[in-house]
Amino acid sequence: MAHTERILMGPGPGNPYPEVIEAFTRPVIGHLDPEFIELLDDLNDRLRQVYRTNNALTFPISATGSAGMEASFVNFVGPGDVVVIGINGVFGTRMADVAARCGAEVIAVEEQWGRAIDPQQLLDAHPNPAIIAVVHAETSTGIRNDIEPLGEAKGDALLLVDCVTSIAGIPLEIDGWGIDIAYAGTQKCLGVPPGLSPLTVSDRALERLRETPQSWYLDLNMIRKYVTGEGARAYHHTAPISMLYGLHAGLGVVLDEGLENSWARHAAVGGLLQEELPGLGFELWAQEGHRLPQLTTVTIPDGVDDVAARHELLDRYGIEIGGGLGPVAGKVWRIGAMGNTARERNARLLLAALAQIVKRG
Ligand X SMILES: *Cc1c(COP(=O)(O)O)cnc(C)c1O
Contact residues for ligand X, defined by CB under 6 A: 12, 64-66, 91, 135, 137, 139, 162, 164-165, 185, 194
Task: Provide, rounded to whole angstroms, the least separation between the CB of residue 27 and ligand X.
Answer: 27
Task: Provide, rounded to whole angstroms, the least separation between the CB of residue 9 and ligand X.
Answer: 15
Contact 335, 276 (CB under 8 A): no
Of 274 and 294, the one with the shorter C-beta distance to ligand X is: 294
Of 159 and 353, the one with the shorter C-beta distance to ligand X is: 159
Task: Provide, rounded to whole angstroms, the least separation between the CB of residue 186 and ligand X.
Answer: 8
DSSP class of residue 170 equals S
Best CA proximity match to 72, nearest among 216, 188, 185, 219 = 219
Of 167 and 319, the one with the shorter C-beta distance to ligand X is: 167
Best CA proximity match to 218, nearest among 34, 77, 124 = 77
Task: Provide, rounded to whole angstroms, the least separation between the CB of residue 95 and ligand X.
Answer: 8
DSSP secondary structure string for all residues of 93-143: HHHHHHHHHTT-EEEEEE--TTSPPPHHHHHHS-SS-SEEEEESEETTTTE
Task: Provide, rounded to whole angstroms, the least separation between the CB of residue 242 and ligand X.
Answer: 17
Mark residue 248 as left, alpha or beta (left: phi above 0; alpha: psi -120 to 50; beta: remaining).
alpha
Residue with CB nearest ligand X? 65
Best CA proximity match to 244, nearest among 16, 15, 14, 20 = 20
Of 136 and 248, the one with the shorter C-beta distance to ligand X is: 136
Of 193 and 281, the one with the shorter C-beta distance to ligand X is: 193
**Burial of residue 212 (number of CB atoms within 10 Å: 0-12, 13-18, 19+):** exposed
Task: Provide, rounded to whole angstroms, the least separation between the CB of residue 240 and ligand X.
Answer: 14
Of 295 and 309, the one with the shorter C-beta distance to ligand X is: 295
